[in-house]
Amino acid sequence: MAKNKPEGYLSAKESRRISKENRRITNQYEKERKRKKVPESEYMTTMHDPNNAVEFDNLHTYFFTDAGTVKSVDGVTFEVPIGKTVGVVGESGCGKSVTSLSLMQLIQRPQGQIVEGEIRLNIGDNKAYNIAKTPNEKMMNLRGNYVSMIFQEPMTSLNPVFRIGEQLEEVIALHAGEGKDKEAFKQRTIELLKMVGIANSEGVYKMYPHELSGGMRQRVMIAMALACSPKIIIADEPTTALDVTIQAQILDLLRNLKNKINSSIMLITHDLGVIAEMADYVVVMYAGRVVEKGTVRDIFTNPSHPYTIGLMASKPVVGKQVDRLYSIPGKVPNPVNMPNYCYYKDRCEMCVEGCSGAYPEEISLSDTHKVSCYRFYEGKGEK
């Protein structure tokens, strides 16, 4: 039927069928979500390892679009230990941000839904929330309080019509405001602004976002994220929009403050330099899946998945003369029609015989280092 039609072409009939089907599926999820008085047993759970702040367990987040179902996150499993920084790397569109937004339950609903898996958020006392099932009113209490987020666009992430002080006080009043008066909020806000290295904190308190530079705004965002000493801070490319000198300052600031309040950071970036500097653990994602994870040492000294190797090769190295930086050939497969073999196979330069088989299972190279690649399967043809 689809002869001579470009890839991704949908006939009107097909498109109607898809949107009808989508509506049916999303309505079902929304109905479940909109129930009143969800019993606690449905979303309260325990951590598999109490030393973790967050555990992503086989997370699937799909978007039901008119062009078909986009499997943005398709079976992601990794942990963020308490007090550690986990870097999530991968190229644009590989599901890094969707993973983090799933943790905040900020995915664009009803199109976007967590369809499978658990995200366990440790709140101490051997208790944990399963974010995938947590109802909205409980979620409101977690956001900004236990989990907070620093976004990649400081220029547009602050509301242009409210003063900086007002926007910061809002978080404090919401989560830590019981029995405190306005004066206490103001003091705490100015204290926070000082903490993130804003010199003229009293002045900035009264300013509007447009009166601040990008770096200043990102500091304000960090202050906002840290206001309630969250267990985990998601930093979604916090330095991408900033120039290099400010980048280093912001990263330093983030690291110091994290140690001060002993929280964990989930650092999303595509800058391997930032990862090397900041992270304790690294998760490499490709097309909605984790292809390799391990400690920073594992990943940087022994990159194993061909994609990780490609990423390493495509970053400039000081003191090495090259005419042209390496770039990984090909492009990410169409997210609507994922192949049933290894997603990276079509771009891979190290294919082995096993590669045409099903998507490779994760195998351990060491206690901490795990990779999904046929190259490490025994007997499946080491080159």
Cβ proximity to other proteins: between 182 and 210 the closer is 210
What proportions of the chain, in percent to the nearest 5, are helix, strand and coil?
A: 35, 20, 40
Positions 156 through 175 that interact with other proteins (CB under 8 A): 156-162, 170-171, 174-175
Rounded Cα gap, residues 160 and 157, in angstroms: 9
Query: Which one among 14, 91, 116, 153 touches other proteins, defined by CB under 8 A?
Result: 153
Residue 158 CA to its chain's centroid (Å): 20
| Residue 322 · residue 306 · CB < 8 Å | no
Shortest separation between residue 213's beta carbon and other proteins, angstroms:
15
The packing angle between helices 182-195 and 214-226, to 10°, is 120
3-state secondary structure of 214: helix
Shortest separation between residue 2's beta carbon and other proteins, angstroms:
27
| Residue 264 · residue 232 · CB < 8 Å | yes
- CB under 8 A: which stretch of 122-130, 151-159, 339-347, 374-382 binds other proteins? 151-159
- Contact residues for 143 (Cβ-Cβ < 8 A; gap 6+): 104, 105, 106
| Residue 120 · residue 129 · CB < 8 Å | yes
- CB under 8 A: which stretch of 2-10, 155-163, 261-269, 353-361 binds other proteins? 155-163
What does the block give as tokens for 250?
């912001």
Q: Going residue by residue from 30 to 49, which x/- string records binding to other proteins, judged by CB under 8 A?
A: --------------------
Shortest separation between residue 342's beta carbon and other proteins, angstroms:
34
Residue matched to tokens 């140690």:
259
Residue matched to tokens 């994609």:
307
How does DSSP classify residue 6? P
What does the block give as tokens for 260?
């001060």
Shortest separation between residue 148's beta carbon and other proteins, angstroms:
7
Rounded Cα gap, residues 204 and 207, in angstroms: 5
Shortest separation between residue 237's beta carbon and other proteins, angstroms:
13
Q: State the pairing for strand pair 147-150/232-236.
A: parallel
What is Dmax (Cα atoms) for the chain? 70
Cβ proximity to other proteins: between 146 and 286 the closer is 146
Cβ proximity to other proteins: between 112 and 310 the closer is 112
Rounded Cα gap, residues 235 and 148, in angstroms: 9
3-state secondary structure of 335: coil
Query: Which one among 84, 120, 143, 369 touches other proteins, defined by CB under 8 A?
Result: 143
Positions 187 through 226 that interact with other proteins (CB under 8 A): 208, 210, 221, 224
Strands (E), 278-338: 281-286, 289-295
Task: Kindly state whether residue 99 participates in binding other proteins, applying the rule CB under 8 A.
Answer: no
Closest by CA position to 252, among listed 269, 226, 272, 274: 274
Strands (E), 257-308: 264-268, 281-286, 289-295
Task: Kindly state whether residue 123 participates in binding other proteins, applying the rule CB under 8 A.
Answer: no
- CB under 8 A: which stretch of 140-148, 244-252, 268-276, 284-292 binds other proteins? 140-148
Task: Kindly state whether residue 96 participates in binding other proteins, applying the rule CB under 8 A.
Answer: no
- CB under 8 A: which stretch of 79-87, 136-144, 335-343, 350-358 binds other proteins? 136-144
Cβ proximity to other proteins: between 156 and 302 the closer is 156
Residue type, 205: Y
Cβ proximity to other proteins: between 104 and 251 the closer is 104
Shortest separation between residue 379's beta carbon and other proteins, angstroms:
48
Instruction: Tell me the site size for other proteins, rule CB under 8 A.
Output: 28
Query: Which one among 99, 102, 130, 145 touches other proteins, defined by CB under 8 A?
Result: 145
- CB under 8 A: which stretch of 74-82, 135-143, 279-287, 297-305 binds other proteins? 135-143
Cβ proximity to other proteins: between 110 and 357 the closer is 110
Cβ proximity to other proteins: between 162 and 300 the closer is 162
Task: Enumerate binding residues for other proteins (CB under 8 A).
Answer: 104, 106, 136, 140-145, 148-149, 151, 153, 156-162, 170-171, 174-175, 208, 210, 221, 224
